[in-house]
Amino acid sequence: MDTDRLKGKNVVITGAAQGMGAAIAEHYAAQGAKVCVTDVNIDGCNAVVDRIKAQGGEAIAVQVDVTKRRDIQIAIESAVGAFGSINVMLNNAGINKPLMFLDITEENWHSIMDINALGVLLGMQEAAKQMIKQGKQDYPYKIINVGSILSRQAFDDVVPYSCSKHAVLAMINGGAKALAAENITVNGYGPGVVRTELWEQLDKDLVAIGKFEKEGESMDKLAEDMILLKRYSYPKDVVGTASFLASAESDYMTGQLLMIDGGMVLQ
């Protein structure tokens, strides 16, 4: 359903060439937001922008590696150049590579922590600096960080990923405290098992490390064993909450992480 819910919102989204980021970019644009679609994969960004424009929306594509501060600055500058300002930053880029605990390497740790945790910090800092520069507005600027069910617990085969998503929760909490005086809210959401390219790869990797016997089994088994609603999810299950957090309906919320997991982690 298209609405004007996000009219007037100028948004930067990281990791938006595919998966949930792409679905959210399109959903935001359909609700009136102007969207800066960023990712290391610029061809994917351009494809998302083309789809948005074909629906009558407004968007630009910028190549960004979230571990590089200058890349994020350029994306924000590009969004301000194209749209006049930014008022929402969605830090979505993330990766996973499962390894059993004793097999975790420094490379595995650093690659996951750099993209999933440092990348979020850099996105928050650069967005906040721009928002502060723009001056206070009547309604809050919004930073939205993508956590996970693994922001609240850890699985033994994805400990660095769990650490990175716990770090995201810490940055939601600490960022909300740091930025409230600047009229910037910081919230996030935590998906559970979402069928995206990330999980397609994870499914193969989990078989390779012996966690599951055959490909295609992991999502169904987790749904059966751990998800109250007994099904895994798709990006369309996440876009509504992501939209709520960017909209005026969440103006009086800050420091919160909302789970969208079909009932995997109950708080």
Ligand X SMILES: NC(=O)c1ccc[n+]([C@@H]2O[C@H](COP(=O)([O-])OP(=O)(O)OC[C@H]3O[C@@H](n4cnc5c(N)ncnc54)[C@H](O)[C@@H]3O)[C@@H](O)[C@H]2O)c1
Give the residue numbers marked as catalytic. 161, 165
Per-residue x/- track, 97-136, ligand X (CB under 6 A):
------------------x---------------------
Q: 20 to 79, contacts with ligand X by CB under 6 A?
A: 20-21, 39-41, 44, 64-67
Pairing relationship of beta strands 141-146 and 88-91 according to DSSP bridges: parallel
Sheet-wide strand order for 58-63: 58-63, 34-39, 10-13, 88-91, 141-146, 184-191, 257-260
Residues 10, 18, 187, 243: which binds ligand X (CB under 6 A)? 18
Q: Is 108 exposed, middle or buried (0-12, 13-18, 19+ CB in 10 A)?
A: middle
Tokens of 197: 């390219």
Residues 87, 92, 130, 243: which binds ligand X (CB under 6 A)? 92
Tokens of 248: 């005026």
Does position 162 interact with ligand X (CB under 6 A)? The reply is no
> Measured from the CB atom, is 199 or 212 closer to ligand X?
199
Does position 144 interact with ligand X (CB under 6 A)? The reply is no
Shortest distance (Å) from residue 221 CB to ligand X: 14
Which ranges in the chain belong to alpha helices (H)?
A: 19-30, 42-54, 69-83, 106-113, 119-134, 159-179, 197-208, 218-226, 239-246
Q: How many residues bind ligand X (CB under 6 A)?
A: 29
Residues 93/66, Cβ–Cβ less than 8 Å: yes
Where do contacts with ligand X occur on this chain (CB under 6 A)?
14-15, 17-21, 39-41, 44, 64-67, 92-95, 115, 146, 148, 191, 193-194, 196-199
